[in-house]
Amino acid sequence: MFNIYKKLSWFFKEEKWRYAAFAICNIAATFLMTLPPKYLGNALDSIGTGQITESYFYALIFKMSIVAILLYGAFNLRSRLMFNGSYKLQYILRNQLMDYLERMDAHYYNDHETGDLMAVATQDVNNICMATSQILNQLLTSAFTILFVVSQMIIGVDLKLTIAAILPLPFAIVLVYFMSKKIRRLFIASRDAYGEFNNTTLESVAGVQVIRAFVQEKNDIEKLKRSADVARDKEKIALKLDSAFGPLFRIVFSVSLMIAIGFGVFLVFNREISAGELVSFNLYLSMLRMPMMGIGQVLNRLQRAQASYDRFEETTMVDVRIEQPKNPMTLKHIDSIEFNHYSFRYPSSEFDSLKDISFKIEKGQTIGIIGKTGSGKSTLIQQLLRYYKKGKGEFKINDYSVDLYNFIDIRQHFGYVPQEHVLFSKTVRENIKLGHVGEVSDEKMMEAIRLADFEKDIQYLRDGLDTLCGEDGTMLSGGQKQRLSIARAFIADPEILILDDSLSAVDGNTEANIIGNLKTARKEKTNIIIAHRLSAIKHADQIIVLDNGEIIEHGNHEQLLAEKGWYYEQFTNQSLADGGEA
């Protein structure tokens, strides 16, 4: 149960002075809280015996005032230390999680849904941090309060009365301990249902346009409602058991209070304790109520925090499946990329998506890749970007196997414009600047926009470059999204630029402008273009035709026309459709 503090020991060591001061403040505050009942009991005995004086009265007020001031200072400092430590841990854990997620491969994201990852980053991290703030505070406060209060009851009042009054309390603690084991399982089930609800919500938000287009709003609302109902029901089951702790402790304390009053009156009658001491004892007993209930809450919340930490570890301790060399070779630049009898199969597939492909890309070449839908074009690009572990056969960079390089280092040499353009809820300017590390001059920004043939669109945007794109670029047309993404790639100026069917939403003239700018601006660099319109790749040094994962044709534009195969048929058909020009 307290294993979470062992796992977080690295953080407590890092913040040892903060938590040492926190513990001192906690000890001081809980001790100070035990003084007023003692002062009050003494005052009542002084009144009963007629010994109270004016100076005693003012001294009592002075002492109570000092205690109140010290308590305020201790509580204030304790809260500052507690919450600042918690916020720092949140910052560290979320940064660790994001750093981990950015380094993971496609295998990882095939196995982890977005909603679950969001639940880890939000709810689970919050639960973990509660263990270092409110839960830890409640735990220490409860423990020290029980220690100091019971000590005052024994030393300041009577041992027999103390034993009799607190005798029912351990039974409640034992019962809570066993109940807390069950509640952990319930919290885990509730957490899983919450993650599934996140996934359902994300699907609804991301697919809202499709849902509206097919008039599926009612069905989607019902699906979301069912997922929410499951999450609610799981949480209700956990909360029902959690809510049983309060009444349990109230019953136990009622019994303790009856024992204290009955046995206490008997001791007063026999002059073993004074009436003031009995009042002090009952005040002390009432002070035990919240710490004892707090222990029950601590046990439950620790179970929730432990379940969250287990989930955090499960999420961040998955090994990368891509081969990582112990001593990777340095990759300063890419002069050549070569596939030799290379085949690849997705982890969840029974068939090869790439079959025995062989070709070589030299630095400065433009490569065109075409083929039917599902022919393996995007799969080939994913191999270049090292999204998955290497398949069978040879895959070399600079005549060395890719296994000898760190896959992150390889990606740094690529700029990628995917089919599904990822735009953020920022301005046009900020979305383009994402392609460049550091400050970007206005001249470089406008040059990238010009190369992407996006310049003419800026004047029609409401706020120009400062126009908000909206969620996933909802404020832009399909062609504008593509050209903005291409501008982002141009401003990055990568060694190898990949356009994955990134010209499908632009007209022929715009495509010709972008291709012309590409040839001029990136004349000495490598370009890989996937397209359906052959006009986008007919200038390429090599054109690779894929079908069912195999290379069925390979050569330049003239060579493929001379073969009169699939490429020739497509070029002829597209030329006729475009009025004799392609």
| CATH code assigned at 558 | 3.40.50.300
In a domain, 518, yes or no: yes
Residue 420 DSSP SS3: coil
DSSP-derived letter for residue 464 is G
Does 119 lie in the same domain as 34?
yes
What's the token pair of residue 313?
A: 């570890």
What are the distances in angstroms from CA 562 to CA 82, 103, 249, 496, 578?
Answer: 76, 45, 89, 29, 21
Q: Mean pLDDT over all residues of the chain? A: 83
**Residue-wise DSSP of 237-283:** HHHHHHTTHHHHHHHHHHHHHHHHHHHHHHHHHTTSS-HHHHHHHHH
**Are 102 and 30 contained in the same domain?**
yes
DSSP tag of 528: E
Q: What is the pLDDT of residues 219-230, one digit of tens each?
A: 888 888 888 888
- What residues contact residue 482 under an 8 Å CB cut-off, 6+ apart? 417, 421, 502, 503, 504, 505, 506
At 158 the three-state DSSP class reads: coil
159-165 average pLDDT score: 84
In a domain, 221, yes or no: no
pLDDT at 186 over 80: no
| Pairwise pLDDT comparison (278 vs 565), residue with the higher score | 565
pLDDT value of position 473 = 65
Q: What is the DSSP letter of 318?
A: P
Any residues with CB less than 8 A from the CB of 278 and at least 6 apart, and which? Answer: 157, 264, 265, 267, 268
* 210 within a domain of the structure (yes/no): no
Sorting pLDDT into bands at 50, 70 and 90, what band is 181? Answer: low
- Asked if residue 355 is part of any domain, the answer here is yes
Indicate if the pLDDT at residue 582 is higher than 60. Answer: no
Q: Are 128 and 89 in contact (CB under 8 A)?
A: yes
Using the predicted structure, report yes or no on whether residue 500 has a pLDDT greater than 60: yes
> In this structure, are 356 and 496 located in the same domain?
yes
Q: What is the pLDDT of residues 448-485, one digit of tens each?
A: 888 888 888 888 888 888 888 876 666 777 788 888 88
CA proximity to 131, closest of 3, 23, 227, 43: 3
Residues 436 and 291 grouped into a single domain: no
Residue 417 pairs with which residues in a beta bridge? Answer: 499
Structure tokens at 23: 């513990």
Residue 331 in 3-state DSSP?
coil
224 lies in a domain?
no
Same domain, 38 and 185: yes
How many whole angstroms separate alpha carbon 365 and alpha carbon 542? 8
Residue 145 lies in a domain: yes
Residue 580, pLDDT > 60, answer no
Name the pLDDT band for 337 (thresholds 50, 70, 90): very high
From the CB of residue 2, how many other CB atoms can be counted at a distance below 10 Å?
11
**Predicted pLDDT of residue 179:** 67
For residues 436 and 570, state if they share a domain.
yes
Least trusted range by pLDDT, from 93-97, 119-123, 333-337, 550-554: 119-123
Asked whether the predicted pLDDT for residue 242 surpasses 70, the reply is no
Whether the per-residue pLDDT at 1 is higher than 70: the answer is no
Q: For residue 227, tell me if it sits in a domain.
A: no
CATH of the domain at 261: 1.20.1560.10
Q: Would you state the structure tokens that stand for residue 261, as one six-digit string?
A: 């009053």
Q: In terms of domains, do 426 and 294 share one?
A: no
Range with the poorest average pLDDT among 10-14, 320-324, 325-329: 320-324
Distance CA 417, CA 555 (A): 24
Q: Residue 579 — pLDDT band, cuts 50, 70, 90?
A: low
E strand map for 302-382: 336-344, 354-362, 366-371
The domain total for the chain is 2
Same domain for 305 and 348, yes or no, is: no
On whether both 356 and 425 belong to a single domain, the answer is yes
Give me the pLDDT at residue 2, please.
Answer: 74
Task: With CA atoms as reference, report the closest residue to 541 among 526, 563, 522.
Answer: 526
Query: Does residue 226 form part of some domain?
Result: no
pLDDT digits (tens, 9 = 90+) for 416-435: 888 777 787 788 888 888 87
Give mean pLDDT, residues 245-258: 75
pLDDT of amino acid 272: 83
| Domain identity same for 248 and 100 | yes
Q: How confident is the model at residue 343 (pLDDT cuts 50, 70, 90)?
A: very high
Whether residue 336 has pLDDT greater than 90 = yes
Instruction: Show the tokens assigned to 462.
Output: 């409401």
Residue 517: its pLDDT value, please? 86
pLDDT score of 200: 82
Q: What are the residues whose beta carbons fall under 8 Å from the beta carbon of 94, sequence distance 6 or more? A: 121, 125
| DSSP code at position 468 | B
Mean pLDDT of 194-220: 78
Q: What is the pLDDT of residue 526?
A: 92
* pLDDT higher than 90, residue 388: no
pLDDT greater at residue 24 or residue 276: 24
Q: Is 294 helix (H, G, I), strand (E, B) or coil?
A: helix
344 confidence band (pLDDT: 50, 70, 90): very high
Residue 513 in contact with residue 453, Cβ under 8 Å? yes
Q: Could you tell me whether strands 354-362 and 336-344 are parallel, antiparallel, or unpaired per DSSP bridges?
A: antiparallel
Asked if 246 and 372 sit in the same domain, the reply is no
d(CA 96, CA 312): 11
Range of the domain at 100: 3-190+235-316
How far is it, in rounded angstroms, from Cα 446 to Cα 468? 18
> H or E element: which one contains 410?
helix 407-411
* 260, 282, 316 - which closes a domain: 316
How many beta carbons lie within 10 A of that of residue 378, not counting itself?
Answer: 16
Burial of 61: CB neighbours in 10 Å, binned 0-12, 13-18, 19+: exposed
What is the three-class DSSP state of 505?
A: coil
% the chain with pLDDT above 90: 15
Section 372-386 average pLDDT = 89
Residues found in the chain: 582
Q: Give tens-digit pLDDT for 108-117.
A: 777 777 777 8
In this structure, the answer to whether residues 300 and 173 fall within a common structural domain is yes
Least confident range of 239-248, 321-330, 569-578: 239-248
Pick the most confident of 70-74, 318-322, 531-535: 70-74
* Cβ neighbour number for residue 277 with a 10 Å cutoff: 23
* Residue 392: per-residue pLDDT: 92
Tell me: the pLDDT tens digits for 518-570? 888 888 899 999 988 888 888 899 999 999 999 999 999 999 999 988 999 88
What sign results for the dihedral spanned by CA atoms 66, 72, 29, 150? positive
Cα separation, 161 vs 266, whole angstroms: 10
Which residues have CB under 8 Å from 192's CB, separation 6+?
234
